[in-house]
Amino acid sequence: MKPLLACLLLFLTWLPSLSIAEEDVRAGALLEALDVRSFADKGEAISELAISEDPRTRYWLNALLDGSLQRTHEGRFVVVLNNRGRSWPVEDALTQEDLGEISRRELNRISINNSLRNQIRSLIAVADLYSEDLSLRRASAERLVGEVDEALAEFLAEHIEQETDRRVQQRLSLALAIYQLEQGELDAVAELHGSLNTDARIALSRAAAQEENPLLAQEAQAALSAIEQRLKMNRTAETLYFGLSMGSVLVLAAIGLAITFGVMGVINMAHGELIMLGAYTTWAMQQLLPGQPGLALLLSIPAGFMVSGLVGIAMERGVIQFLKGRPLETLLATFGISLMLQQLVRTVISPQNRTVVTPEWMSGSLVVNDALSLTLNRLYIMAFALLVFMALIYILRRTRLGLEVRAVTQNRAMARSMGIKATRVDMMTFGLGSGVAGLAGVALSQLTNVGPNLGQAYIIDSFMVVVFGGVGNLWGTLVAGMSLGIINQVIEPWAGAVVAKILVLVFIILFIQKRPRGLFPQKGRAAGD
């Protein structure tokens, strides 16, 4: 390892002049040195290549790392672009000129072992520390954590002072502290104190197990105890985040039901299928706009609302209006409609689940620290649920339809006597609630596969949210949905998904024994009906 470390330091010294090109003869000789049987000789050749000042060095090292640097029977070095089929497209390793396709039998791969792979990765990582691209420098600093040796430690100690990005500085300091702790330096414990990085915790655990250095072991154990407390806090924050995201889904699924149930008193068992139609609308939009998942998702928001809303209006006009005041018949009728909608989807589309592509801007996660990251799709869904909620609050508080809905909800007979057409309000309200169910389906398509049974998983939870929050009260639905989401997420890890559902149901049953009207009961003359 000593010759390699010396070459690495020399490489770092000469790195600013890497933009000066060498003659192809010199470059060819460097590549020639790689095509030997001895892995030790290859290691020396790789080190020579790293300090060669040739601007193509990183290109060759990457090709060597992924096995695409090969040599033809005539002795020409090429880089394989695609290794599928019998003939592979290649380009010249020196000039990067496209050479067309060459039979794989005419190529010999320059093989490397794991030790050489680690050597190449270290060289590439160190080279990237000098890149003007901040993302490359950050990725390089991440790769060096846990990979520092004696020579690299000396370099990092100097380079940290020159680095301008704070995040890169922190990562390099972490990498250096881990190495120093492995060498038994007590000051490194203070540097790693409170770090949530996995490599740092492993290094501290090893130090805490050392019997020959009791003082270091004691300090490392104290640092591990402090880290464990931070980890518990981060796990709690992660649980709350997943609980809130689950609660947001429940709010979206239940808020439309809260409107229709509160105004019309209809137990709509087809509400889950209206959610399913919104999800299938998102899938259909992506089929119409292939390769544009972001645009398709944005267009799915109004499209999903319209599709589910129109189906809801058709249900209300065709069936529900004739069953007013007969809750049992309404329940059975809507249950039959739900089965019909499921079978319609199975017949027209497919009984198989469909996958909706998540847009790039919703993929990935927001990294808070080494132990906590927030997935972006759930973050967007939480924001979307709040926007839908505020839009409904505005409609019910600031529009004529909202005024009529509140009047009919509080006292239907009095509203009729004041000239409000309760039949029209019922139709518009049912359409509004159904449209919101479609929006819930659009959001759910980003969390799970779309299938005919998608809505069945949320219909019972939606009714629990509505009953717990208070029938017809939007604020109650918001609080109940978020509360049940958090409660379920807290219980599920130690009780299991099924037992968690049962415990939540038992909690709601006990709760409505004390408060039959929920957290936020209705107001008005008809509230006690």
- CA atoms of 305 and 460, how far apart (whole Å): 22
pLDDT greater at residue 122 or residue 192: 192
Domain boundaries, the chain: 2-116, 236-364+371-528
pLDDT at 526: 45
Contact by Cβ (8 Å): 441, 299: no
Angle, helix 114-128 to helix 150-162, in steps of 10 degrees: 20
| Residue 2, pLDDT score | 45
Which comes out higher in pLDDT, residue 461 or 298? 298
Q: What is the DSSP string of 415-442?
A: HHHTT--HHHHHHHHHHHHHHHHHHHHH
Strand order in the sheet with 77-80: 98-103, 87-92, 77-80, 69-72, 107-109
Q: Percent of the chain scored above 90 by pLDDT?
A: 19
Place 61 in a pLDDT band, splitting at 50, 70 and 90.
confident
| Cα 19 to Cα 56: distance, rounded to the nearest angstrom | 9
Q: With CA atoms as reference, report the closest residue to 69 among 45, 85, 52.
A: 45
- Chain segment 109-120, per-residue pLDDT in tens: 888 888 888 878
Q: How confident is the model at residue 19 (pLDDT cuts 50, 70, 90)?
A: very low
pTM: 0.74
Phi, psi of 71 (to 5 degrees): -130, 135
pLDDT band at 308 (very low <50, low <70, confident <90, very high): very high
Taking alpha carbons only, the member of 102, 93, 33 closest to residue 63 is: 93
Share of the chain above pLDDT 70, in %: 92
How far is CA 190 from each of CA 141, 174, 185, 215, 403, rounded to the nearest angstrom?
20, 11, 10, 13, 63
pLDDT of the residue at 342: 93
What does the pLDDT look like over 369-387, one tens digit per residue?
Answer: 888 888 999 999 999 999 9
pLDDT at 314: 93
pLDDT level of residue 23 (50, 70, 90 thresholds): low
Per-residue pLDDT band at 1 (split at 50, 70, 90): very low
Q: Mean pLDDT of all residues in the chain?
A: 84
The pLDDT of residue 11 = 47
Q: What is the mean pLDDT of residues 281-305?
A: 93
**Whether 263 contacts 434, CB under 8 Å:** no
Please give the Cα distance from 125 to 305 (Å, whole number): 50
Please calculate the CA angle 395-396-398 and round it to the nearest 5 degrees.
65
15 pLDDT higher than 70: no
Answer whether residue 204 shows pLDDT above 60. Answer: yes
Given a cut of 90, is residue 17 above it in pLDDT? Answer: no
Q: Which tens digits make up the pLDDT trace of 336-381?
A: 999 999 999 999 988 888 989 989 888 888 888 888 888 999 999 9
Count of all residues that appear for the chain in the document = 529
Residues 471, 477, 479, CA angle at the centre, nearest 5°? 130
Please tell me the least confidently modeled range out of 50-64, 312-326, 384-398: 50-64
Lowest mean pLDDT of 155-164, 386-395, 427-436, name the range: 155-164
Q: Is the pLDDT of residue 151 over 70?
A: no
How much is the pLDDT for 282?
94
Q: Is 60 exceeded by the pLDDT of residue 261?
A: yes
pLDDT higher than 50, residue 497: yes
Q: Evaluate whether 388 touches 252 at the Cβ level (below 8 Å).
A: yes
**What are 132-145's pLDDT values in tens digits?**
788 888 888 888 88
pLDDT in the model for residue 383: 94
How much is the average pLDDT of 203-231? 88
C-alpha distance across the termini of the chain, in Å: 84
pLDDT value at residue 51 = 67
- 149-159 average pLDDT score: 76
Question: What would the mean pLDDT of 169-173 be, rounded to a whole number?
Answer: 89
Amino acid present at 195: S
Q: What is the dihedral of CA 260, 266, 269, 272, to 10 degrees?
A: 0
pLDDT of residue 313: 93
Between β-strands 365-369 and 372-375, what pairing exists: parallel, antiparallel or unpaired?
Answer: antiparallel
Residue 307 to residue 91: CA distance in whole angstroms: 53
Across residues 88-99, what is the average pLDDT? 87
In the numeric block, which tokens belong to residue 202?
Answer: 């492993």
Distance CA 353, CA 369 (A): 35
Q: Find where tokens 């589910």 sit.
A: 308
Residue 488 clears pLDDT 80, i.e. is over it: yes
Higher pLDDT, 124 or 254: 254
Per-residue pLDDT, averaged over 518-528, amounts to 60
Coil, strand or helix: which one is 140? helix
Band of the pLDDT at 275, cuts 50, 70, 90?
very high
pLDDT of 412: 76
Among 183-192, 253-262, 385-394, 410-419, the range with the most confident prediction by mean pLDDT is: 385-394
Which of the four CATH numbers 1.10.1740, 1.25.40, 1.10.3470, 3.30.160 does domain 236-364+371-528 have? 1.10.3470
Residue 13 pLDDT > 50? no
